[in-house]
Amino acid sequence: MDYLQITGGAKLSGAIDISGAKNSALPVIAATILSDQPVTLTNLPNVVDIRTLLKLLTILGGEVEHEAETAKINNATMNSTKAVYEIVSKMRASILVLGPLLARFGECEVSLPGGCAIGQRPIDLHLKALEAMGAKIEIKGGYVRAEAPEGGLHGAKIVFDKITVGGTENTVMAAALAHGKTTIVNAAKEPEITQLCEMIASADVKIEGIGSSEITIEGTGGKPLIFNEPIEIIPDRIEAGTYLCAAAITGSTVTLNKVDAEHINASLAKLESMGCRFDIAENAITIHSPDRLRPVNIITTEYPGFPTDMQAQFMALATMAIGESIIEERLFENRFMHVSELNRLGADIWLKGNIAAVRPVAQLFGADVMATDLRASSALVLAALVAKGVTNVRRIYHLDRGYDNLEGKLSQLGAKIERLRE
């Protein structure tokens, strides 16, 4: 098994490019199911989760040509509507095929994703929305079996009890081919949802309220969509935030290219409060970091608030601040698995329920640590960049699911990091 060996203490400098957003590419790939014509996707990140979802399309009978950052997908040949356990158990975002498969084929079976390291992560809101559109749903043998009514799904008014990114995405995709109008109230507003809506709108589907918490979609009444233009995946705001944290924790000046500063306002504001300064140009950000960071208080919330996907990385930063920081996780009930691993590196983090108090320490020290989920793993890498001595980060298959060439990009900035094999 691969692991990362990092020798702490190097300052970073220079520039890197930010890749396409994994969490945007996943729903965009799922949305290609809404079409029976070829679709081209560009700026895909080179990460395992993308390859997993493209593989699922081929298992369903779609044709996929994937090379570097581009995939040409033709789902005209799709002849199965069963998303099997073997794939869904590898990646819970596979649930995103539920809405489009049901909308295009009138029925589907998708393995029920289990819980994951960060929480239970139910999909009840996805299912309720599809039921409101007329679907009959049963859970049997570990699968969600969904059937549209005779003639197809119909539009509905859906009021989400809770803001859900995946639930909003599944509903938008199902609504695109439904009969009549669907209104989603309390929709998620993440840039990834805006990209999905814009993709569907580019296929002549009328969508109002893109980027807002109320989205209205006029469905095509069962007619598959045609995507004439290539879909370019937006920059990964979480990858960008992670590299800003890498610069901040090492007291460095670094430039990120191919980034959208508008999408990372919440992280920029927190970094600024910790003493960092920025030069923001079109598609580029340069961060200048102080020698010592000020402490920070964070509460995770939905976009445009502070993202749960940046919580672990900021906790790593907070270990090196000059005072105590308080971090509250509000989205997932178990997203603090990195705390004990950061403490193994010498951090002083006290945890009660969903609140962590991060007390300052003079120095972190290299050790063997274990990655537990994607963002927790990147927090360990950040801490290792400043820990004295050598840190080995194991179980990095979590990192490979969502960070494109992490060790390559950090090496390019001057970090001492190597991928080794046990």
Active site residues: 116
Question: Does the footprint of ligand EPZ cover residue 171 (CB under 6 A)?
Answer: no
215-274: contacts with ligand EPZ (CB under 6 A): none
According to CB under 6 A, which one of 25, 29, 50, 123 is a site residue for ligand EPZ? 123
Candidates 157-165, 225-233, 338-346, 414-422; binding stretch for ligand EPZ (CB under 6 A): 157-165
Report helix, strand or coil for 353: coil
Question: Whole-angstrom Cα distance, residue 304 to residue 194?
Answer: 12
According to CB under 6 A, which one of 6, 12, 26, 148 is a site residue for ligand EPZ? 26
Question: Whole-angstrom Cα distance, residue 50 to residue 100?
Answer: 17
Bridge partners, residue 329, by sequence: none
CB of 332 to ligand EPZ, least distance (A): 5
CB of 120 to ligand EPZ, least distance (A): 6
Question: What string of H, E and C letters represents the secondary structure of 21-37?
Answer: CHHHHHHHHHHHHHECC
Question: Does the footprint of ligand EPZ cover residue 389 (CB under 6 A)?
Answer: no
According to CB under 6 A, which one of 18, 174, 187, 331 is a site residue for ligand EPZ? 331
Question: Does the footprint of ligand EPZ cover residue 56 (CB under 6 A)?
Answer: no
Specify the DSSP class assigned to residue 14. Answer: S
273-312: contacts with ligand EPZ (CB under 6 A): 308-309
Candidates 6-14, 100-108, 122-130, 260-268; binding stretch for ligand EPZ (CB under 6 A): 122-130
According to CB under 6 A, which one of 66, 237, 263, 375 is a site residue for ligand EPZ? 375
C-alpha closest to that of 92 among 197, 166, 171, 2: 166
Candidates 35-43, 71-79, 121-129, 407-415; binding stretch for ligand EPZ (CB under 6 A): 121-129
Question: Does the footprint of ligand EPZ cover residue 329 (CB under 6 A)?
Answer: no
CB of 122 to ligand EPZ, least distance (A): 4
Question: Whole-angstrom Cα distance, residue 289 to residue 215?
Answer: 39
According to CB under 6 A, which one of 78, 318, 374, 406 is a site residue for ligand EPZ? 374
Contacts 24+ apart (CB under 8 A), 83-88: 83/56, 83/108, 83/109, 83/110, 83/111, 84/59, 84/111, 85/111, 85/142, 85/143, 87/52, 87/55, 87/56, 87/59, 87/111, 88/112, 88/113
Quickly list DSSP for 125-185: HHHHHHHHTT-EEEEETTEEEEEPPTT--B--EEE-SS--HHHHHHHHHHHHHSBSEEEEE
Question: Whole-angstrom Cα distance, residue 391 to residue 370?
Answer: 10
CB of 11 to ligand EPZ, least distance (A): 28
**Interaction pattern, residues 188-207, with ligand EPZ; x per rule: CB under 6 A:** x-------------------
Question: Does the footprint of ligand EPZ cover residue 159 (CB under 6 A)?
Answer: no
C-alpha closest to that of 243 among 282, 274, 286, 277: 286
Q: Closer CB to ligand EPZ, residue 127 or residue 293? A: 127
Residues within the interface to ligand EPZ (CB under 6 A): 23, 26, 93, 119, 121-126, 162, 164-167, 188, 308-309, 331-332, 374-375, 402
